[in-house]
Chain A
Amino acid sequence: MAPARDPESTAAPGPHVTGDDVLLSIEGLQKHFGGLMAVAGASFTVRRGSITGLIGPNGAGKSTLFDLVTGVTRADRGSVHLAGHRLTGRAPDAIARAGVARTFQTPRVFPDMSAWENLLAGGAHHPGETLLGGLMRGRAARHRERTLQARAEELLAFLGLERAAGQAARELSGGQRKLLSLGRALMTEPRLLMLDEPAAGVNQTLTRTLMQRIGDVNAGGVTVLVVEHDMDLIMRLCERVIVMHQGSVLAEGTPAEVQRDARVLEAYLGGAA
């Protein structure tokens, strides 16, 4: 259950927050919807530069946890810190600008915009994105636009979406949308990339590509937290796995450790729990 102390009152960062190797630290996070405790005091950390898997049976609270970290939903209690900076209570866009990018379980592309524009829209800190900046298009805005276009072009190639660049995103296949939303999240140049079931509904070839790309991105210095039901993917990609069950963390360890954990098997196979 949740820790008894009130995390709101911890002015100083807790023990999880400090340490150079921790990027994301979650402490006593709680959220209930009516009578349902979706996240019941979850605490864990994500190491800087790692690929961490977040698994658990349906309804374990993984997606809610994503929403809490990214500010889409407000936590009842508990705290989230990114590299020691508190994220809890901040607006979703502020959290994104702090360096957290995410994808959604069902890819939320911008349907009436081209794939190309979808990517460019991901670019953060654009001086041309204000009313006056857009009208004036000063040197800084033009320079930023060129930088973003170059990056978008790289990502189109990186994700194999070059031919789809001019197409409206609504015309893309499900797999392409997944890739596009991954690319769009990468356009923000995140420190932490949170992927919600990137491989769900994607064919095997594309899953392999996705895994490779996630690995590539991570090798480029981005920390990845991934929710996924594809155990094969989790076991091969992640160096650390966190298992959630009924809103809290059930087990944590390397893929091999977690796989051997009796409680995990019970939770998944529906034992006496």
Chain B
Amino acid sequence: MALLPFLVGLLTLALIYGLLALGLNLQYGVTGLLNFGHVAFFAVGAFTSALLTLPPRGSAAYLQADAHYQIGLGWPVPVGFLLAGVAGGLVALLIGATSVRLSSHYLAIATFAMAEIVRSVLTNADWLTRGEFGISNVPQPLKDTVIPAGVYPYAYLAATAVVVAVLLALTVRLTESPYGRALRAVRDDEVAARSLGKQTPALKLGAFAVGGALAGFAGSLWTHSLGVVHVGQFVPIVTFQVWLAVLMGGSGNAYGALLGSLALMAITQGTRFLGDVPLLSGLTRRNPSFVPSLRFVLIGLLLIGVVRFFPRGILPERPRRPPRNVGRRGSENRLGSAADAGAVGGGVSDDRPSDRPASDRPPSDDGTSDDGRSSEADASADPGALDSSPDREPR
């Protein structure tokens, strides 16, 4: 078994799924949208990129390949890539505009149905997609002309890594911005977010569209890496594998989404070799479907294990801490600022009851019987006293 080519293929696939997971993470992990139709945006991106970049009908390349497709614009692959993202985003925008207002479970059903509709359309639009036959000579950029076929997978992996890294950086920039914060607010409590003036439908639609665009990009990377696109690639199990990657990696954490995809691919691709295991190979001889079935069992067990032992994923989302300088200013400053905040009339130094870390408290504070509280409140009558607490460095 050639290990290196296998690993290169696995990593490329993991990165492409990582991009899908990045999109779903933005939709579900950050914004709380239950999207069960992610594969549709993947498919739209793949077909968009393929059709835009295929050599035009009747061209030398077309004839040489003995092709049968109707549409090929012969545009450069980078253009196809960018427009794949645009197409994925637009389809998500279109679908989101009608369904993103639905509450969680209904959205899940609507997106699942929508993905099946997209697949059905693609299957039946023979003139566009060649239906079940698919299109097999999707261009692989620079192959044989600049990069020899032997090293092409390595070059493609490198290019994919760069593209995914750039999109990861942009996504993280977005989620760590005030926009991302507003999305998380929608996820955590939409009613509360709305009561703070957030335009939650627009926020949800935006996140849904950007997630769709990321899946569209992934579709482009996928189709050019294979040189083939056909409808059968875009079945619902793809969506669920992306879900598994997001949940396994750590919902809400972009890095977790990538890690989850890597783990997922290591398992799904790695289990291809189960048939080579001596004991199992004996069973395979009598029952050829034994190992493929076992792979699904393993994936299922994995999902159960993740939910049981890492309910928040391998790399859980961490609450964002305030910048380091917050809370370390002098007490005079703080007293002054408190006065600004609400025209505090002399009463600022009384009753500071909640300075204790929550771990010291009973889990639900209905307490009228918390005796320690009042003496602590007295002790902290000087607001400056807070600064002398042991876990805070003196200024």
Which residues of A are at the interface with B, using a C-beta cutoff of 8 A? 70, 72, 91-94, 96-97, 101-102, 104, 108-114, 116-117, 120-124, 126, 128-131, 133-135, 137, 141, 144-145, 149-169, 171-176, 179, 181, 184-188, 201-206, 208-209, 212-213, 215-217, 219-222
Main secondary structure of the interface of A (DSSP, over half): helix
Q: From residue B256, how far is it (CB to closest CB) to chain A in Å?
A: 14
Chain B residues lying within 8 Å of A164, measured Cβ to Cβ, are: 354, 357-358
Residue of B nearest to A200 (CB): B366
Do B338 and A129 touch (CB < 8 A)?
no
Q: Which chain A residue has the least Cβ–Cβ distance from B360? A: A173
Q: Is the CB of B338 within 8 A of A157?
A: yes
Query: Top 3 A-B pairs ranked by shortest CB distance?
Result: A134-B179, A134-B177, A173-B365
In addition to A108-B191, A121-B193, A213-B342, 7 A-B residue pairs with Cβ atoms within 8 Å of each other are A102-B195, A113-B181, A126-B178, A161-B354, A165-B321, A203-B370, A209-B353
Contacts of A116 in B (CB 8 A): 320-322, 326
B185's partner among A110, A168, A201, A222 (CB-CB below 8 A) is: A110
B150 at the interface (CB under 8 A from A): no
28 A–B contact pairs at CB < 8 A?
A93-B194, A93-B197, A96-B194, A96-B197, A108-B192, A108-B195, A109-B189, A113-B319, A116-B326, A117-B184, A122-B196, A128-B179, A131-B206, A134-B177, A141-B177, A150-B337, A152-B322, A153-B322, A154-B338, A160-B351, A162-B386, A165-B327, A166-B319, A185-B196, A202-B365, A212-B347, A215-B345, A219-B345
Q: Are B178's CB and A72's CB within 8 A?
A: no
Q: With A93-B198, A116-B321, A203-B373 given, is the CB distance from A130 to B341 under 8 Å?
A: no
Could you say which residues of chain A place their CB within 8 Å of the CB of B394?
none
B350 within 8 A of A: yes
B342, B356, B377: the one contacting A205 at CB < 8 Å is B377
Could you tell me if A162 and B368 are in contact, using CB atoms closer than 8 angstroms? no
Chain A residues within an 8 Å CB radius of B178: 120, 123, 126, 128-129, 133-134, 141, 144-145
What CA separation (Å) do A134 and B26 show in the bound complex?
14
Complex: chain A residue closest to B370, CB-CB: A203
Q: A220 with B341: in contact, given A134-B180, A212-B347 (CB under 8 Å)? A: yes
- Residues of chain A within 8 A (CB-CB) of B317 are 112
Given known A-B contacts A179-B354, A219-B345, A114 and B179 have beta carbons under 8 A apart: no
Report B-chain residues with C-beta under 8 Å of the C-beta of A158.
338, 341-342, 344, 348
* Residue in chain A with minimal CB distance to B187: A112
Contact partner of A201 (CB less than 8 A), chosen from B199, B351, B366, is B366
Chain B residues contacting A149 (CB-CB under 8 Å) are: 322-323, 326
**B357: A residues at CB distance < 8 A:** 163-164, 167
Chain A residue with minimal CB distance to B326?
A: A153
Q: Are B210 and A131 in contact (CB under 8 A)?
A: yes
Residue of B nearest to A91 (CB): B194
A205-B326 contact in complex given A134-B177, A172-B358, A188-B197, C-beta closer than 8 Å? no
CB pair B351–A157 under 8 Å, yes or no, is no
Tell me how many residues of B have a C-beta within 8 Å of chain A: 72
B343 touches A220 (CB 8 A): yes
Q: Decide: A186 near B342, CB < 8 A? Known: A129-B182, A157-B337.
A: yes
Expressed in whole angstroms, the minimum distance between the Cβ of B175 and any Cβ of chain A is 9
Let me know if B195 and A70 touch, CB within 8 A. yes
Contact of B334 among A114, A134, A157, A188 (CB under 8 A): A157
Q: Which residues of A contact B393 (CB under 8 A)?
A: none
Q: When A109-B192, A124-B197 are in contact, do A135 and B319 touch as well, CB less than 8 Å?
A: no
A167 and B184 contacting across the interface, CB-CB below 8 Å: no
- Minimum CB distance partner of B323 in chain A: A149
Q: A121-B185, A131-B179, A174-B364 are in contact. Are A96 and B345 (CB under 8 A)?
A: no
- B174 contacts the other chain (CB 8 A): yes
Q: Which residues in A have their C-beta under 8 angstroms from that of B105?
A: none
Q: Which residues of B contact A70 (CB under 8 A)?
A: 195
B 181-225 to A, binary, CB cutoff 8 A, 1 in contact else 0:
110110111011111111110000010001000000000000000
- Give the Cβ gap from A29 to chain B, nearest Cβ, in Å: 18
Q: Are B188 and A154 closer than 8 Å at their CB atoms?
A: no
Residues of B308-359 at the interface with A, using a CB-CB cut-off of 8 Å, are 317, 319-323, 326-327, 329, 334, 337-338, 340-345, 347-348, 350-359
Q: Which of B209-254 contact A (CB under 8 A)?
A: 210, 252
Closest CB-CB distance, A5 to chain B, in whole Å?
A: 31
B367 on the A face (CB < 8 A): yes
The answer to the question of B361 belonging to the interface, with a C-beta cut-off of 8 Å to chain A, is yes
Does B275 have its Cβ within 8 Å of any Cβ on chain A? no
Residue picked from B187, B188, B345, B350, most chain A C-beta under 10 Å: B188
Which residues of chain B come closer than 8 Å to A151, judged between CB atoms?
A: 341
Q: Enumerate chain A residues within 8 angstroms of B196, measured Cβ to Cβ.
A: 93, 96, 101, 121-122, 124, 184-185, 187-188
The answer to whether the Cβ of B73 comes within 8 Å of any Cβ in the partner chain is: no
- A134-B174, A165-B322, A186-B342 known; A112 and B352 CB under 8 Å? no
Bound Cα distance A254, B137 (Å): 83
Q: Which residues of B contact A165 (CB under 8 A)?
A: 321-322, 326-327
Residues from chain A with a CB closer than 8 A to the CB of B193 are 110, 121
B374: interface (CB < 8 Å): yes
Say whether B322 contacts A166, CB under 8 Å: yes
Q: How far is B170's CA from A184's CA once the two chains are assembled, in angstroms?
A: 28
CB distance from A132 to the nearest CB of B (A): 9
Q: A120-B181, A154-B340, A155-B341 known; A112 and B210 CB under 8 Å?
A: no
Whether a CB of chain A sits under 8 angstroms from the CB of B74 is no
Q: Does B272 contact A (CB under 8 A)?
A: no
Residue from A93, A152, A176, A212 in contact with B351 in the complex, judged by beta carbons closer than 8 Å? A212
Separation in Å of the B207 CB from the closest CB of chain A?
9
Assess whether B326 is in contact with A167, with CB atoms less than 8 Å apart: no
Q: How far does the alpha carbon of A123 sit from the alpha carbon of B196 in the complex, in Å?
A: 8
